Amino acid sequence: MKPDEQPPLPGLAESTHVSLAPAPGCEAPVVWVQALAVHSDWPAESGTLLREIRLRRGLNILWAQPAASGTKNRLSGHATGKTTFCRLIRYVLDDADSGTKDFRQRFQARFPRGWVFAEIFVGNEKWLVGRPLGHQGYHPFARKGGSLADATGPQILRGGYDEYQDALEAAAFAKVTLRNLSATNRRLEWDCLLQWLGRDQEARFAGLLEWRHKDSDSESPNLIAADKENMVRIILGLVEGPEQTLLREHAEKAAEHTRLVDKRPKVDFLAERSRVSLATLLGREVSVPKEPLEFQALRTTVAEQANMWRADAEKAKTAVREAEKEQELQDKLTTCAAQWLIAKVPFDDADRELSRLQGTLYTTQESTQKQEQLDELRVNMKPFKGFCSVPMAEALAEPACPRAALRQPDTELDKLMKEAKTEAQRQEVLVRRQRQECSRLKAVVTKKEVARDEAKEALRAFRDRRDKKLAEANRPAVRADDLETALRNYESARTELAELEKTLGDLDREKRDLDARLKLMAETHVQRIATFTRIYDHVAKLLMGDDVTATVEFAGKAIEPRLECDGPRDSTALKLAKWLAFDLGSVALSVAGGGHHPRFLLHDSPREADITASIYHELFHAAITLERAATGEPPFQYIVTTTEPPPEDIRCKPWLLDPVLNANEAQGRFLGVNL
């Protein structure tokens, strides 16, 4: 049966024939994984193999079997390596890292030279991809047309990974014309799209766009909600160039609106604080002016009060200045300082003369001392330090001594001795008299210095008292300054607040206008939205029954899936069902030729909250329904890990992956070891 001969989907209006059969060109996934192998070392040999899993196009279920009732180990369905498997799938699809930091450290401690290999089809081209898991510093490689069997030989393969990355980009966005996300203008690349295709298990399906969680230690790009919404619209083919421009403008307006809304309380607080300051300074209530005339009246009141306070301050300062008293004290200080300088001149002269006389006295005393030594030599006729050691009587008896012949007579020596003593006594009298004169002059100088210092202190004390009185007298003027400053602050804050409110109002109007224009644009591709909505409704009915009606509203930049069954339904479990149906419906839309989804989807343990087993089981049946709409191999790949047992009718090959995991013993885990 040809695709255009496929019957309409069950539950859809007869007038709209939408088929789940692959549209021309959509017969195979854009990207899918055929095999994954983890080795403890290079080369990839049987002795280094930790785990190898072969996958298929269509539904792939990795089941971690729970413990039987009564088993002591109740964790057998958990901690088996399901999330490790998913993170490694993402890793070989060029995700930034292979797992959480804790997993990487534990793996590298056990297997420092570990590798993960994969056979991956990208746009119908098969690639062998290898990425190191250890910390030995090796680089990833990729080989077009390769297989797991090529990861052998003593030399580690090199190169080709850049070409593989380019191939992923080219295949995923081959028909995508919009590559810049509207909110931040970030370029839409494979690492952005991969977040949607393979959510973090830690995100727990908390929301339609909750793809990454901080606990996963993911290094994926940090996308804001608006960019995620825009990316989904682009991938579903529900946004075009002009609409993208409007979405970006809408995002900019929304960001500015949010910034101003956050700023408004601060500006409002500043305005209120200034108003309270005005009221406090004026000593009366100041109401918020509602009209320009009220503000002008407030300005007039403030100006009058400020002028009054300044006049009061000037009067008070005039009364306390005491200019005549200050001049009197200043004149006294000048006189005392001059008298001190006049008294100091003769004292300095006398002090210099005293120094000269003391020098002369010292010289005279030295001469007298020398004469006394000579006299002692003459009397004693004995040697002493500094003179000849021969007694004078012996020297005179020896005609050969030239110095003894030169000796003066005793009468001459007596005369010299008397003259030296008389001069020394005279110099002592002069020094003593000069000291007395210096003491007298010093007393005069000290008296004048005390008088000068007292005059200086009196002037300083006067000025200190006067300045304190002036400061006190000037308080009304300071209060006037504070009053005018408070008014200026109030006016500035009120003006800023008014401008902010006006800008917010303008932004609100502009956003409403943009919403209307976006809605109008959305109506131009209403058929695309209707097609996706019908596919989404069909998948939702497969999960929850024909009584459910599912719709998707693309309002402005928002995406809002809804469920109704005798009224809106929005429990936690049904929210999860909405997200699962949306993801699978996006794959189905691409299969049917709509949008640009690469038709690859990875869900790690999607059963959350209190979603019933019956609804959860239908997720697998919905995937098989999509498989069976194709005449050949399934045109998509959907990988699901689960602890909840899959439905019995598909708990087998080809859907159930080998092996079934079990944590009761190490070999039952994904890597076959306990890390």
Task: Read off the pLDDT of residues 500-518 as tens digits, 9 standing for 90 and up.
Answer: 999 999 988 988 888 887 7
Kindly indicate the confidence band of residue 78, based on its pLDDT and cuts at 50, 70 and 90. Answer: low
Residue 194 has pLDDT above 60, yes or no: yes
Helices H, strands E: what count in the chain? 15, 10
Taking a C-beta distance cutoff of 8 angstroms, is the pair 538, 13 a contact? Answer: no
- Does residue 548 sit in the same domain as residue 499? no
Report if residue 48 sits inside a domain: yes
Average pLDDT over residues 542-551: 86
Asked if residue 132 and residue 14 are part of one domain, the reply reads yes
Is there a single domain that holds both residue 401 and residue 334?
yes
Of 446, 473, 500, at which residue does a domain stop? Answer: 473
Decide if 514 is inside a domain: no
Say if strands 125-132 and 549-555 run parallel, antiparallel, or are unpaired. unpaired
Q: What is the dihedral of CA 590, 591, 593, 598, to 10 degrees?
A: 40
User: What range does the domain containing 284 cover?
Assistant: 256-316+475-509
Question: Domain for residue 282, yes or no?
Answer: yes
Verify that 308 and 327 share a domain, yes or no: no
Q: What is the average per-residue pLDDT within 539-558?
A: 82
pLDDT at 330: 87
Tell whether 598 is covered by a domain: yes
| Stated length of the chain | 675
> Total structural domains in the chain?
3
Together in a domain, 150 and 285: no
Q: Is there a single domain that holds both residue 309 and residue 369?
A: no
pLDDT digits (tens, 9 = 90+) for 353-397: 888 888 888 888 787 777 676 666 555 555 555 556 666 666 666
Q: Are 583 and 22 in contact (CB under 8 A)?
A: no
Q: For residue 7, name the pLDDT band (cuts at 50, 70, 90).
A: very low
596 plus 535 within the same structural domain: yes
Over residues 397-412, the pLDDT tens digits come to 666 666 655 665 667 6
The radius of gyration of the chain from alpha carbons, rounded to an integer in Å, stands at 53
Query: In the predicted model, what is the mean pLDDT of the chain?
Result: 84
The answer to whether residue 112 is domain-embedded is yes
**Range of 66-70, 444-448, 596-600, 641-645 with top mean pLDDT:** 596-600
Task: State pLDDT tens for residues 572-614.
Answer: 678 888 899 999 999 999 999 988 999 999 999 887 656 788 8
Give the count of alpha carbons within 13 A of 548, CB side only: 23
pLDDT of 77 higher than 60 = no
d(CA 430, CA 210): 110
pLDDT of residue 284: 85
Q: Clarify whether residues 352 and 459 are in a common domain.
A: yes
CA dist 350 and 437 (Å) reads 7
Instruction: Report CA-CA distances (Å) from 636 to 60, 201, 623.
Output: 11, 21, 9
Percent of the chain with pLDDT over 90: 35
β-bridge pairing 58-63 and 549-555: unpaired
Segment 216-229 mean pLDDT: 90
87-142: pLDDT as tens digits: 999 999 999 999 999 999 999 999 999 999 999 999 999 999 999 998 777 899 99
The alpha carbon of 522 is separated from its chain's Cα centroid by a whole number of angstroms, namely 39
Q: Closest Cα partner for 232 from 585, 514, 559, 603?
A: 559
Q: Is residue 93 part of a domain?
A: yes
Going by pLDDT thresholds of 50, 70 and 90, the confidence category of residue 239 is confident
d(CA 137, CA 594): 43
- Asked if residue 482 and residue 587 are part of one domain, the reply reads no
CATH number for the domain harbouring residue 191: 3.40.50
Other beta carbons within 10 angstroms of residue 533's beta carbon come to 20
Looking at residue 497, its amino acid is: L
Same domain for 344 and 312, yes or no, is no
- Examine the pLDDT at 556 and tell me if it is beyond 70: no
Query: pTM score, two decimals?
Result: 0.62
Distance from C-alpha of 645 to C-alpha of 652, rounded to nearest angstrom: 11
Query: If DSSP states are collapsed to H, E and C, what string results for 138-156?
Result: CCCEEEECCCHHHCCCCCC
**What pLDDT is attached to residue 145?**
95
For residues 563-571, average pLDDT: 70
Give the closest residue to 205 by CA, choosing from 576, 590, 605, 490: 576
Distance (Å, whole) CA 308 – CA 588: 82
Residues 425 and 502 in one domain: no
Residue that is last in its domain, among 509, 535, 554: 509
Instruction: Tell whether 363 and 500 lie within a shared domain.
Output: no
Cis peptide leading into residue 476 (ω within 30°): no
Answer whether residue 203 is part of any domain: yes
251: in domain? no
